[in-house]
């Protein structure tokens, strides 16, 4: 059993605990948060768990892996502190708020000989994995293109402290892009160049819920991003991520090949129907054939602990470079060539919840 220390006990931590507490592969031994009351409240719910400061947690001998669930702007600081103590680190997306910080994390981990894992792990669920199995099995023939679209009015409608979504490291691209871009890389392989365009509809947003309802927050990033991803395979993806729309009925992801088309379910979810339309036939729903069934946030950490880890730092770094290059291209108008690449991790065999919980 691997000892895990969680840093950051905010909104998303509850979903992680639902996955990790019943799993026999890990034990949560310590928790820390800038707000000690949050850490203490979490520690009380977890048998044998202590509330510590972040400095104490990363130095604690019982902590083997640091689970970094802080806001994007703090991802690098916490990851580097963990690595400095020789601890493996698995974090929420994006890997860091900037490509420079993400590169620092990966370089420090290589120098220290420790592993880095990163969300999104939704892509290890049956939705994206079943779609990938269909592509890998040639069911759409040679893949030619994909489209990915996520449109919303912005997270301030529901998140009680949405400031980080509008700061560097946030925006719709860095916030939601990891789900879509990681899926596109899982489906069509690494990306070699991108072109982007972006815009910002307004300079302030108003928090709609919670104790700060009515408060205005400043917008420091583009809130509508669109772009073209040139995959090394020759396939081309188009992507739109926006906090500046109201509703959309577009499929989250479509993949088109010379012999068929595929509808991929919401990559922010672990499952959902995958639909295939072979040439000359009609749409049908595929039975789940790959992925962790009935899984939730944290499955990537369980996969990471079992090693080598499919939601890994190399994938997260490539995905972050794709997203930051889209933003650079949006600002300059020029096409950006990428420096990083990644090998697609192995397909996840279809694994029941009973199996992944008890491994
Ligand atoms: N909210 C969601 O629906 C959602 C979904 C998937 C992933 N995520 C990702 O999860 C991460 C956290 O999001 P959230 O919504 O839980 O945010 P949140 O603001 O609700 O929680 C973050 C927590 O981290 C703590 N924290 C911040 N900086 C810290 C530091 N330097 N040291 C220790 N603790 C620190 C904060 O006090 C807070 O308790 C982000 O990377 C986000 O992209 C969020």
Per the structure block, which two tokens stand in for 116? 């880095």
**Does residue 27 register a pLDDT over 90?**
yes
Q: Give Cα separations from 215 to 61, 98, 172, 208 (angstroms).
A: 42, 27, 21, 8
- How far apart CA 319 and CA 252 sit, in angstroms, is 18
Report the half-sphere exposure of 291 (CA within 13 A, side-chain side).
29
Report d(CA 266, CA 268) in Å as an integer: 5
- Decide: 66 and 58 in contact? Cβ < 8 Å: yes
pLDDT tens digits for 214-259? 999 999 999 999 999 999 999 999 999 999 999 999 999 999 999 9
Q: Is the pLDDT of residue 291 over 90?
A: yes
Which is the closest atom of ligand 1 to the Cα of 10?
A: 21
How many angstroms separate the alpha carbon of residue 256 from the centre of ligand 1? 36
Q: What is the pLDDT of residues 42-67, one digit of tens each?
A: 999 999 999 999 999 999 999 999 99
Contact by Cβ (8 Å): 129, 262 = no
Q: Pocket of ligand 1, candidates 42, 52, 69: which has the most ligand atoms within 8 Å of its Cβ, to mutate?
A: 69
Q: Name which residue sits closest to atom 31 of ligand 1, judged by CA.
A: 74
- Ligand 1 center–CA 207 separation, angstroms: 17
Mean pLDDT value across residues 160-170: 90
Residue nearest to atom 5 of ligand 1 (CA): 12
Indicate whether 143 pLDDT > 90. yes
* Residue 350 predicted with pLDDT over 90: yes
Answer yes or no: are the C-beta atoms of 125 and 350 closer than 8 Å: no
Counts for the chain of helices (H) and strands (E), in that order: 10, 17
In the structure, what pLDDT confidence band is assigned to residue 70 with cuts at 50, 70 and 90? very high
Q: Two tokens at 230?
A: 């040139």
How far lies 4's CA from each of 8, 82, 174, 283, in Å? 13, 12, 26, 44
- At residue 136, does pLDDT exceed 90? yes
Please report the pLDDT score of residue 231 as a whole number: 98
- 295 alpha carbon – ligand 1 mean position (Å): 21
pLDDT class of 168 with cuts at 50, 70, 90:
confident
The helix (H) or strand (E) run that includes residue 228 is strand 224-231
> For residue 27, what are the β-bridge partners?
3
For residue 119, give the ligand 1 atom closest to its CA: 7
CA dist., res. 283 & res. 290, Å (int): 20
Please name the residue whose Cα sits nearest to atom 44 of ligand 1. 12
Kindly list the protein residues whose Cβ atom lies closer than 6 A to any atom of ligand 1. Answer: 7-12, 32-35, 38, 54, 69-72, 74, 77-78, 92-93, 161, 175
Report CA(275)–ligand 1 centroid distance (Å).
Answer: 34
Tell me how far the alpha carbon of residue 31 lies from the centroid of ligand 1, in angstroms.
13
**Which residue's alpha carbon is at the smallest distance from atom 9 of ligand 1?**
92
Ligand 1 centroid to residue 12 C-alpha, Å: 7
Q: Is the pLDDT of residue 182 over 90?
A: yes
Where residue 170 falls among pLDDT bands split at 50, 70, 90?
Answer: confident
Is residue 169 predicted with pLDDT exceeding 90?
no
CA of 35 relative to ligand 1 center, distance in Å: 12
Task: Report the atom number in ligand 1 closest to the C-alpha of 8.
Answer: 24
Kindly state the average pLDDT of the residues 169-197.
96
pLDDT of residue 228: 98
Q: Can you spell out the DSSP letters for 247-273?
A: ---S-SEEEEETTEEEEE--TTSS---
- Span 285-305, mean pLDDT? 98
Q: What is the mean pLDDT of the chain?
A: 97
Predicted local distance difference test score (pLDDT) of residue 273: 98
141 vs 133: CA distance, rounded Å: 12
To test the pocket of ligand 1, the residue of 6, 9, 12 to mutate (highest count of ligand atoms within 8 Å of its CB) is 12
Between the alpha carbon of residue 83 and those of residues 14, 28, 66, 71, 302, the distances in Å are: 25, 18, 9, 18, 19
Determine what percent of the chain is predicted with pLDDT higher than 70.
100
């Amino acid at each position: 059993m691997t000892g895990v220390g969680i840093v950051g006990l905010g909104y998303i931590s509850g979903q992680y605990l639902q996955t990790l507490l019943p799993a026999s592969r890990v034990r949560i031994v310590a928790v820390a948060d800038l707000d000690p009351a949050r850490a203490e409240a979490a520690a009380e719910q977890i048998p044998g768990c202590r509330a510590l400061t972040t400095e104490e947690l990363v130095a604690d001998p019982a902590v083997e892996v640091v689970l970094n669930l802080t806001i994007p702007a703090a991802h690098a600081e916490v990851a580097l502190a963990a690595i400095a103590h020789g601890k493996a680190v698995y974090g929420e997306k994006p890997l860091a708020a900037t490509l420079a910080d993400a590169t620092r994390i990966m370089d420090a981990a290589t120098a220290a000989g420790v592993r880095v894992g990163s969300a999104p792990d939704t892509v290890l669920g049956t939705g994206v994995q079943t779609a990938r199995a269909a592509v890998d099995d040639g069911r759409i023939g040679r893949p030619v293109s994909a489209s990915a679209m996520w449109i919303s009015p912005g997270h301030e409608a529901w998140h009680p402290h949405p400031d980080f979504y509008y700061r560097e490291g946030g925006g719709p691209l860095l916030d939601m892009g990891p789900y879509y871009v990681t899926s596109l890389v899982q489906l069509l392989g690494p990306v070699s160049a991108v072109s982007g365009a972006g815009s910002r509809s307004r300079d302030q947003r108003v928090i709609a819920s919670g104790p700060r309802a009515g408060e205005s927050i400043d917008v420091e990033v583009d809130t509508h991003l669109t772009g073209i991803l040139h995959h090394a395979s020759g396939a081309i993806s188009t992507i739109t991520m926006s906090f500046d729309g109201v509703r959309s009925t577009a499929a989250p992801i479509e993949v088109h090949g010379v012999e068929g088309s595929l509808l991929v379910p919401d990559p922010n979810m672990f499952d959902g129907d995958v639909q295939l339309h072979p040439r000359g036939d009609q749409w049908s729903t595929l039975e789940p054939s790959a992925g962790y069934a009935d899984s939730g946030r944290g499955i990537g950490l369980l996969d990471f602990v079992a090693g080598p880890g499919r939601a890994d730092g190399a994938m997260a770094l490539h995905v972050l470079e794709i997203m930051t290059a889209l933003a650079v291209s949006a600002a300059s108008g020029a096409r950006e060539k990428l420096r990083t690449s990644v090998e697609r991790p192995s397909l996840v065999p279809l694994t029941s919840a009973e199996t992944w919980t008890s491994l």
